[in-house]
Amino acid sequence: MPISHRRVGACALAAAPGLVIASLFLSSLFFIPVRGAAAEPASEEPVEEMLVKGQRPGPPGTFVATPTRATPNEPDAAKLLRLIPGGDVVSNGPLTGQVQYRGMFGDRVGVQVDGMRINPGGPNWMDAPLHYAPRPLLDRLEVDLGIASVSRGAETIGGSVRAELKSSEFTDDDAWRPSGDLEAATAVADESFVGGGILSAANARHRFHVLGSTEVGDDYRVGGGGRIRPSEYERFQYGGGYGFRFGDHEIGLDYRFNDTNESGTPVLPMDIRVVDTHLATFDYSGRVGGIGLEAKLGFSNVDHVMDNYSLRPPPTAGPSRWRRNDTGSSGIGWKLAADVEMLGGRFELGFDGHHAEHDARVTNPNAPAFFVQVFEDARKTRFGTWGEWKGDLAERFDAEVGLRYTRVEMDADAVDGTPAAMMPPATRLRDAFNAADRGKGDDLVDMVVKFGFSPSEDLRLEIEAGRKMRAPSYVERYGWIPTQAAAGLADGNNYVGDTALNPELSYEAAAGVEWTGRIGEVDVHLSPRAFYRRVFDYIQGVPETDPDVIAISTGNGDATPLRFANVDARFYGADLAYGAELPWDLHLDGTLSYVRADRLDVRDDLYRISPLHGRTTLSYERERWSVAIESVYAAAQKKVSRTNGETRSPSWGILNVFGTWEPLPWLGLVAGVNNVLDDGYADHLAGTSRVTSSGVNAGERLPSPGVSFFARAVGRF
């Protein structure tokens, strides 16, 4: 793919800070309009502090990661989960990362972008929710540590993650103030250029902003040489917003358009050709007397095209195996909530819901008559209500108690396909699905209780328990013919669904400690946490026994297909966040995470579970500059799923070095080297490649990037 515009950006970064900002404006004007930033004086938001640390404890029970941290230096915002204790990323491509938290991933983790649940357009989650939060537009990523509160939404059995994008903010008077938050970056491993940000103008009553981002990269280089093909990517996003404040009330309107073009997903059966997505939100917040009010309405519409012959070598079996998949989804979500003071705390009562529709049609450009309607108007609608109280029980004691009820209704239309007109096994599968009762309803009840005790200002103890439920996805329930559509599991197996699936039911207990104090002359922060989760009716692929499914799947290259089924499972583990202010202006911070997950109905481990892993950063920090050395590491993963044909992965560790400089109050620069020693390694969650390239053979675990010089400039005014 052409990369001349990326090289222009790289040269600008190397030349001078002024050219960096100029190249950002020129690139933004050429590709997309740029968007405005929060209207705050630059002195209130130091550039350098965010560039150095980029992660911090948030409100009680949460952790915050910001994208301006030097590492991880990759385009996918989901990679920021590696800064969170207990977090990791299931990576299926440079723009296709799924959040994993304490072993659960996919739609078990409730991911919101600006308070909105976004349904991916494809059945393999090529556009996972954080695909719609490009790093140049992302302000912060917030993660609930432990069990998600019931107010975070329905089906948060695996936790809650919220991406907050940059936005304009009201000021304190009627004078108009312009502001901006812009950045430009480049990296050598994928010859990438990234630029974007927001521009805004605001006063006490009105706020306006425009936003835009450009991200383009080539096939990335792996440790020791060679490149992963296809791993190129190209994503643009732009939009704007307006807010109005009157008295104690605020309203906001926002719109964004996402334009993702040819982007590789080497561990999936196809690559992205197009992801065109419209995103719109309306929100209101205010107070009436002593009652706080909140309302949210969100809309998404995704058109997604993928194929197996444009970016990767066409199938060796010939033109009859060429495949194109045209998919789409639309969704609308809403939330109404009110909170009042009650019993020494605040009680919140709310109602929410979400409706999603999905379609997927596979064709062959060499055979116009061929088609398979994999999903036809598959629908899932949630209606929920919750009540949640948070407050102080007594001096030094606080609590949270929440109860939620959600009704889930699902259905799908009849399907068809060319194989069903030619092959008796496919005919029987189609007819059985079309004759089945596809309309399903599930009642989900969630309960969460949390207690906190602070015996001193520098020590807090927490204990929590929860009951959480999740209904099956449309992929798990309505897959009628064996395909590799599996919500991005990327294990190489063909799957079929089961309309009779039960919802998952999880019981979880967790505990944590937060301590800030001194050891000798060193200020130290330690936050260890542990958890245990027992899941009944966990949805997992099991070996298929239906001869018709096996016959069709064997003809498509997999003689041992899997069927989504209910099994029993458990998850347990511990994670740690730590930091220390050392002598001589040195600062140490890091995380360490461990999770174990296995089935209880048979002796097997669950699939694609992160091994013991961590990150340690030692930085030397002065007022306007810093340097840092960072170690990122993971243990071997030997506890793998035999059912999914998962292979073990060895341990690995890499070193990164980077430095930051704030030459001007409005300009911050960062530069460094990832994987300094050019180590060849493969992260366990990276998946198995479907494509043979100079960096890997098909069937091998996908290697991670090799040594890469990177640079970034951030300007704020």
Checking DSSP bridges between strand 62-65 and strand 55-57, what pairing results, if any?
antiparallel
How many Cβ atoms from other residues are within 10 Å of residue 343's Cβ? 10
The conformational region for residue 52 under phi > 0 = left, psi -120 to 50 = alpha, else beta, is alpha
Sign of CA pseudo-dihedral 451, 455, 457, 461: negative
What are 199's strand-pairing partners? Answer: 36, 210
The 8-class DSSP code of residue 225 comes to: S
Peptide bond just before 72 cis, omega within 30 deg: yes
Q: Measured between alpha carbons, how far is 86 from 82 in angstroms, rounded to an integer?
A: 8
Backbone angles phi, psi at 149, to 5 degrees: -65, 155
Q: Measured between alpha carbons, how far is 161 from 319 in angstroms, rounded to an integer?
A: 42
Q: Measured between alpha carbons, how far is 499 from 489 in angstroms, rounded to an integer?
A: 20
Q: Measured between alpha carbons, how far is 100 from 78 in angstroms, rounded to an integer?
A: 9
Residue 39's nearest CA partner among 170, 165, 136, 137 is 170
How many Cβ atoms from other residues are within 10 Å of residue 210's Cβ? 20
Q: Measured between alpha carbons, how far is 54 from 589 in angstroms, rounded to an integer?
A: 11
The residue behind tokens 């583990």 is: 573
Tokens standing for residue 339: 């909170």
Q: Measured between alpha carbons, how far is 481 from 490 in angstroms, rounded to an integer?
A: 17
Q: Measured between alpha carbons, how far is 389 from 383 in angstroms, rounded to an integer?
A: 21
Contact 532, 508 (CB under 8 A): yes
| pLDDT for the residue numbered 22 | 31
Tokens standing for residue 270: 């196809």
The residue behind tokens 């009157």 is: 246
Q: Measured between alpha carbons, how far is 556 from 349 in angstroms, rounded to an integer?
A: 51
The mean predicted confidence, pLDDT, of the chain is 91
Of how many residues is the chain composed?
717
The residue behind tokens 């936005």 is: 167
| pLDDT for the residue numbered 61 | 81
In the chain, which residues have pLDDT < 70?
1-58
Residue 484 vs residues 181, 268, 500, 563, 579: alpha-carbon distances, Å: 41, 8, 20, 11, 43
3-state secondary structure of 282: strand
The conformational region for residue 226 under phi > 0 = left, psi -120 to 50 = alpha, else beta, is left
Backbone angles phi, psi at 79, to 5 degrees: -65, -20
The conformational region for residue 146 under phi > 0 = left, psi -120 to 50 = alpha, else beta, is left
| pLDDT for the residue numbered 608 | 97
Peptide bond just before 230 cis, omega within 30 deg: yes
Query: Which CATH number applies to 4-716?
Result: 2.40.170.20
The 8-class DSSP code of residue 417 comes to: B
The conformational region for residue 159 under phi > 0 = left, psi -120 to 50 = alpha, else beta, is left
Contact 254, 305 (CB under 8 A): no
Contact 632, 606 (CB under 8 A): no
Contacts of 603 (CB under 8 A, 6+ apart): none
Contact 172, 184 (CB under 8 A): no
Q: Which long-range contacts link 17-22 to residues 24+ away (Cβ below 8 Å)? A: 17/663, 17/664, 17/667, 17/669, 17/713, 20/184, 20/669, 20/713, 21/182, 21/184, 21/667, 21/713, 21/715
Residue 364's nearest CA partner among 307, 423, 421, 426 is 307
Q: What angle do CA 194, 200, 205 make, to 5 degrees?
A: 155
Q: Measured between alpha carbons, how far is 429 from 413 in angstroms, rounded to an integer?
A: 15
Tokens standing for residue 118: 């976004």
